Structure 1
Amino acid sequence: MGRKEEILNKIQILITNHFSTSEAAFAFFDKNGDGKLTKNEIKDLLKEAEINGFLRGIVSSKLIDVYDKDGDELIDWEEFKFAINEISDESK
């Protein structure tokens, strides 16, 4: 399993095992309740998914680069949902 697949798998396991829905996971990590995940909030998600500390900054930046469709450098619910669906598809 490559590094990317391993990280995506850990995120999938976190969301599946600890939250009833992906929306509940999003709400949990959206600490300020603004409907968007900041880079630091994404790092918190990655920490909970047991992603190595060194990699969290790199991975959070990459996730924003890939999934931030409106260019605000944040991940909103629709972008998060798209990412989770893609992660779910890749883990099959």
Structure 2
Amino acid sequence: MSTKEDILKKIEILITNHFRTPEEAFNFFDDNGDQKLSKSEIKDLLQEAKISGFIRGIVASKLIEGYDKNDDQLISWEEFQTAIDEISN
């Protein structure tokens, strides 16, 4: 199974190699344009980052659990930025 560091590295590689900015990546995966990423949208991001389908749902849940500061079960742009800042360090 992938470690947290492996998963975060794959996300960083996806964003760095395929988008000019993290905000562009966020907007790309925000399918409905509500400026929040749902679990489904996060799973799409993880799929693009080559995270195994077997663990994609678990990882999406953990990302929401770890970064959703207002408990709406969604990741806002600000929450996404916090995650990206952590990944980049």
Give the TM-score normalised by structure 2: 0.97
Q: How many residues align?
A: 88
1:87: how far off?
A: 0.6
Spell out the pairing of 1:45-84 with structure 2 (5 A cutoff): 45-84=45-84
* Structure 1 stretches of 4+ moved >3 Å: none
Matched, 1:10 2:10: yes
Gaps of 5+ in 1: none
| 2: CA distance, partners of 1:87 / 1:58 | 18
Superposed CA RMSD in Å reads: 0.7
1:49: how far off?
A: 0.1
Encode CA deviations 1:22-79: one digit per residue, 9 max, x unaligned: 0000000000000000000000000000000011000000000000001000000000
Amino acid at match of 1:77: W
| 1: CA distance, partners of 2:68 / 2:87 | 15
| 1: CA distance, partners of 2:88 / 2:54 | 25
Give the share of equivalent positions with the same residue, in percent: 68
| 1: CA distance, partners of 2:50 / 2:34 | 25
